[in-house]
Amino acid sequence: MSVIAVVGGQWGDEGKGKVIDMLAEQADAVVRFSGGDNAGHTVINPQGEFKLHLIPSGVFYPHCTCIIGNGVVVNPDIFIKERDELCARGVDTSRVYISDRAHLVLPYHILLDGLEERARGVKSLGTTLRGIGPAFVDKVARMGIRAVDLLDTAILRDRLEYVLEYKNQLLTKLYGEPPLNFDELFEICMGYANQLRGNIKETSSLLDDYIRQGKRVIMEGAQGALLDTDFGTYPYVTSSSPLVAGGCLGAGVGPAKLDRALGIFKAYCSRVGSGPMPTELCDDIGEQIRIRGHEYGTTTGRPRRVGWFDGVAARFSSRINGLTGVAITRLDILDTVEALKICVGYRLNGDIIYDFPADAATLHQCQPVYEEMPGWCQPTTEATCLEELPQAARAYIARLEELVECPANYVCIGPVRRQAIELAPIL
Ligand code: GDP
Ligand code: IMO
Ligand code: MG
């Protein structure tokens, strides 16, 4: 198998960073394909603990080329900080490239993210305030500044003049804020150009070369399917596609080149930000899971909402992604829960439905229909194979496999690289 996509199956933070750090040992390249620094991917390996926002989780292997694809929006400040911090901790970042087609997140995007959230009032989306939505808006509005623009001063000046004029109208006339100064912004961008010149590259041809040579490529997703702009809980979604299909577009790899698609699912659910979450637990069990699982956002530090595994949402996610397998993470967080629940349908207006509704207001009205399963109430963190897991944990995994309609390739039982059980290799 040479090309695989690894994507979030739920609302993000499923443990993509951990799984990709583990799989990248056998990969020649890892390419991030969507989102921006709204992502926070945690990796704990023999080199330490790292929280990556833009740089792919394969960076810890000297043999692995890391690409930030055209589908990612890149805040140069965050990239430079992340690259330099990794370097300072002894991680080789000389093989980290940014697609020349990637759009940039600039200071006005961050300002507008905050102003738009404020304007939404009680209907705010709970964004990460990283300017991600406004940057993707500019991309489709054909107003974006791309990495390639940094390489030509005249083009950069010309584009930035036009774009900033428009942004300043928005800032001053719609929001009553002071305008941004062109010369200062241009100076900042010239600084980015100096810092990033060595990283910017045409990356889709690089990936094509790798694929032609039969090398192994991992497409690294950010966020999760239920935050997808088209299929997520709209409008409580992010502004790019975390799906496998988004991977092909955001990396510049034709869909027929893809061999497998691995969805990452927590053994329960979590969500940061606003929007419906039918299985949310607002009781003691929820608090117990949040505390035991340290469920606080990697990027924003906000407490994550937690809930039981949602089989309806998971089956939907598996289908729209076309998953060939899943990795179930954080099984160990359920080690102390005596009785587990899994949502297998939604009760809506007296009926039971099994499909994930298109609209957030309808999803909000859905009451989960639960199936109960016994907990295992013993530690799983040292297990090295399926047989070493308690019978109740194996039964739980088997039920999740039925619900997502594909096999589990991996089960993770701790945050550290080695804490994973391989049931069937994906690479
Ligand atoms: P990502 O955004 O999908 O990469 O996930 P995050 O890094 O934001 O959040 C996942 C958290 O779970 C991180 O703190 C990981 O270190 C941790 N983690 C991943 N897999 C496991 C697991 O199997 N068990 C436990 N206890 N923690 C895990
Ligand atoms: P990783 O890759 C969890 C959520 C935000 C908010 C919504 C829109 O670590 O799984 P945005 O800033 O994207 O406009 O916010 O999306 N969100 C995430 N939640 N994990 C993420 O990334 C997320 N990236 C965005 O909390 O609800
Ligand atoms: Mg995360």
Ligand 2 centre and the CA of 377: distance in Å? 32
Half-sphere exposure of 105 (CA within 13 A, CB side): 27
8 Å CB contact between 217 and 247: no
Q: For residue 339, is pLDDT > 90? A: yes
Active-site residue 41, yes or no? yes
- Which tops the pLDDT comparison, 296 or 370? 370
Q: Which ligand is nearest to the CA of 39?
A: 2
- Predicted confidence at residue 1, as pLDDT, reads 52
Cα–Cα distance measured from residue 105 to residue 112, given in angstroms and rounded to the nearest whole number:
11
Ligand 1 centre and the CA of 242: distance in Å? 17
Average pLDDT over residues 270-298: 94
Q: For residue 375, is pLDDT > 60? A: yes
Ligand 2 contacts (CB < 6 A) are: 8, 11-13, 35, 38-41, 125-128, 130, 132-133, 222-224, 227, 238-239, 272-273, 298
Please identify which of the residues 21, 28, 37, 41 carries the catalytic annotation: 41
For residue range 172-208, list pLDDT tens digits in order: 999 999 999 999 999 999 999 999 999 999 999 999 9
In the 3-class helix/strand/coil scheme, how is 275-321 assigned residue by residue?
A: CCCCCECCCHHHHHHHHHCCCECCCCCCECEEECEEHHHHHHHHHHH
User: Is the whole model's pTM more than 0.85, yes or no?
Assistant: yes
Q: Which ligand is nearest to the CA of 114?
A: 2
Alpha carbon 388 to its chain centroid, in Å, reads: 31
Q: For residue 394, is pLDDT > 90? A: yes
Active-site residue 364, yes or no? no
Separate counts of helices (H) and strands (E) for the chain: 12, 20
Confidence bin at 13 (pLDDT 50/70/90): very high
Q: Which ligand is nearest to the CA of 331?
A: 1
Helix 391-404 × helix 311-321 angle, to 10°: 50
8 Å CB contact between 331 and 408: no
For residue range 138-178, list pLDDT tens digits in order: 999 999 999 999 999 999 999 999 999 999 999 999 999 99
Cα–Cα distance measured from residue 161 to residue 152, given in angstroms and rounded to the nearest whole number:
14
- Ligand 1 contacts CB of residue 116 (under 6 A): no
- Ligand 1 contacts CB of residue 14 (under 6 A): yes
Under 8 Å CB-to-CB from 315, ≥6 apart: which residues? 354, 356, 403, 404, 405
Q: Among 23, 41, 55, which residue's Cα sits nearest to residue 420?
A: 23
Handedness of CA 398, 402, 404, 407 (dihedral sign): positive
For residue range 111-131, list pLDDT tens digits in order: 999 999 999 999 999 999 999
For residue range 72-109, list pLDDT tens digits in order: 999 999 999 999 999 999 999 999 999 999 999 999 99
Q: For residue 347, is pLDDT > 70? A: yes
- Predicted confidence at residue 380, as pLDDT, reads 98
Ligand 3 centre and the CA of 412: distance in Å? 16
